[in-house]
Amino acid sequence: MVQYPDCPFCGNASLSIVDVEINGISLKGIQCNNPECCKIFGVYKDYAQEIKELREKLEEIEGEIDV
User: What digits encode the pLDDT tens for the residues 12-54?
Assistant: 989 999 999 999 989 999 999 999 999 998 899 989 889 999 9
Instruction: Specify the higher pLDDT residue, 67 or 45.
Output: 45
Predicted confidence at residue 54, as pLDDT, reads 95
What are the structural domain ranges in the chain? 15-66
pLDDT reported for residue 55? 95
- Rounded CA separation 20/25 (Å): 8
Stated pTM of the model: 0.66
Q: Are 21 and 29 in contact (CB under 8 A)?
A: no
